């Protein structure tokens, strides 16, 4: 039920002047939040709009200048302490928000929403209903199953239940050209290279170093007109893996960014590539945000369908995780290469629009 009265949540709060969307998500969560966040922006055009996401990805919000303020919440590389939670509660209460919206249904974000002091608080009911006291944390509640629909669509459907107008999901992301220039590339390089994110957050989601080296060799041989750009996250684990991977290659890639890019620079790099190639990692969501064709390999997790990109410009090869195997199995390099060819052929037939500012999913 969207509200306790006859009016919808939006009708009751339409004159709000200060609105917080409290999500606390990582990179993928935050990218998937953007279509719903745009719906909130349109519903409260007069309001000062705030959003809270995980601290380490706040720079991504530079791509959405229509959000007035971004808050960072510590979730990586450690969880927020009790003191830090009290501090963010004080900040929330000091801002005197008229509306706080929380669509992820987690315990942490639900408590923060409750203690925010906002007069109107919209929450999403967990699939199991949550603890007995959960419903009292919010003044209005919506329920939409957490699977199998894509995460971005789930959040938009939640808002629709609360009275927000139904519109095609759109990212409305903007990438400053200076971000591409900061990588050393130019507009003239657009479409001339493949971008590869070879690593994820865990070995079980990754191809082995030897298989990655063979895949890179196959890409270099099969697509001689496309240069290859590799990048990884700015952490010691992935930087070490990148050094080891490059050492295995007979022909060095055109560019290697070993954890040296900001999120907005990485988004620009992906935006201008001919094709993005990766595993189950946040860069796949950046490809979706920028409407960039992509090929990915995924581990067989229960939430698979929620995170896969939709559209004919994407292909995903799903592997297996047999016991006692450190890396993803059953992803054939030939299947990945065939997926690359298929996506490129479709892209020629259906060229990408010149701007990724408004991207329908």
Residue where the block lists tokens 């995980």: 54
- pLDDT exceeds 80 at position 5: no
* Residue 301 zone, left/alpha/beta (φ > 0; ψ -120 to 50; rest): beta
Going by C-beta distance under 8 Å and a sequence separation of 6 or more, which residues neighbour residue 351? none
pLDDT bin (cut points 50, 70, 90) of residue 76 is confident
Q: What pLDDT is stored for residue 148 in this prediction?
A: 80
Q: Which of 113, 164, 167 is nearest to 2 (CA)?
A: 164
- Contact yes or no for 283/201 (Cβ under 8 A): no
**Percent of the chain beyond pLDDT 90?**
82
pLDDT bin (cut points 50, 70, 90) of residue 61 is very high
Average pLDDT over residues 24-46: 96
**Percent of the chain beyond pLDDT 70?**
94
Q: What pLDDT is stored for residue 347 in this prediction?
A: 65
Largest CA distance in the chain: 68
Residue 334: asked if its preceding bond is cis (omega within 30°), the reply is no
d(CA 350, CA 190): 17
Distances (CA, A) of 226 to 189, 192, 221, 276: 10, 5, 10, 12
pLDDT tens-digit map of 107-165: 889 999 999 999 999 999 888 877 778 888 999 999 999 888 999 999 999 999 999 99
- Contact yes or no for 19/99 (Cβ under 8 A): yes
- pLDDT exceeds 80 at position 3: no
Residue 211 tokens, joined: 């298989």
More confidently predicted of 309 and 179? 179
Q: Which domains does the chain have, with CATH numbers?
A: 9-161 (3.40.50.2000), 177-349 (3.40.50.2000)
> How would you label 74-103 residue by residue, b for 16+ Cβ within 10 Å and e otherwise?
bbeeeebeeeebeebbeebeebebbbbbbb
d(CA 349, CA 9): 44
Q: What pLDDT is stored for residue 301 in this prediction?
A: 85
pLDDT bin (cut points 50, 70, 90) of residue 304 is confident
pTM for this entry: 0.90
Average pLDDT over residues 89-118: 94
- pLDDT exceeds 90 at position 55: yes
Residue 249 tokens, joined: 């290659």
Q: How many CA atoms, within 13 angstroms, populate the side-chain half-sphere of residue 201?
A: 9
- pLDDT exceeds 70 at position 8: yes
Q: What residues pair up with 277 in beta bridges, in sequence order?
A: 196, 295
Q: Please, what is the average pLDDT of the chain? A: 92
């Amino acid at each position: 039920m969207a509200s306790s009265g006859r009016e919808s949540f939006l009708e009751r709060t339409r004159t709000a002047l200060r609105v917080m969307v409290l999500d606390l998500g990582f990179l993928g969560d935050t990218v998937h939040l953007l279509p719903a966040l745009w719906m909130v922006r349109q519903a409260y055009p007069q309001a000062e709009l705030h959003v809270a996401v995980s601290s380490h990805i706040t720079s991504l919000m530079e791509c959405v200048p229509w959000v007035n303020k971004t808050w960072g919440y510590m979730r990586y590389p450690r969880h927020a302490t009790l003191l830090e939670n009290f501090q963010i509660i004080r900040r929330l209460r000091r801002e005197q928000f008229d509306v706080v919206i929380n669509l992820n249904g987690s315990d942490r974000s639900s408590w923060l929403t409750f203690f925010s002091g906002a007069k109107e608080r919209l929450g999403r009911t967990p699939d199991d209903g949550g603890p007995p006291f959960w419903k009292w944390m919010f003044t209005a509640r919506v329920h939409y199953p957490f699977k199998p629909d894509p995460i971005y669509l789930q959040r938009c459907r939640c808002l629709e239940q609360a009275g927000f107008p139904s519109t095609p999901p759109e990212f409305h992301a903007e990438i400053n050209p200076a971000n591409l220039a900061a990588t050393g590339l130019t507009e003239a390089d657009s479409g001339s290279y493949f971008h590869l994110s070879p690593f994820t957050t865990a070995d079980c989601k990754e191809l082995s170093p030897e298989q990655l080296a063979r895949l890179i060799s196959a890409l270099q041989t099969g697509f001689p007109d496309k240069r290859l750009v590799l990048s990884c996250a700015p952490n010691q684990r992935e930087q070490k893996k990148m050094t080891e991977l490059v050492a295995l290659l007979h022909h060095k890639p055109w560019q290697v960014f070993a954890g040296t890019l900001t999120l907005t620079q990485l988004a620009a790099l992906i935006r201008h590539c001919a094709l993005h190639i990766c595993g189950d990692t946040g860069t796949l969501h950046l490809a979706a945000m920028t409407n960039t064709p992509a090929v990915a390999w995924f581990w067989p997790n229960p939430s698979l369908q929620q995170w896969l990109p939709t559209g004919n410009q994407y292909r995903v090869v799903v592997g297996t995780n047999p016991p006692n195997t450190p890396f993803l199995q059953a992803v054939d390099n030939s299947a990945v290469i065939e997926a690359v060819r298929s996506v490129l052929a479709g892209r020629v037939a259906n060229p990408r629009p010149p701007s990724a500012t408004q991207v329908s999913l």
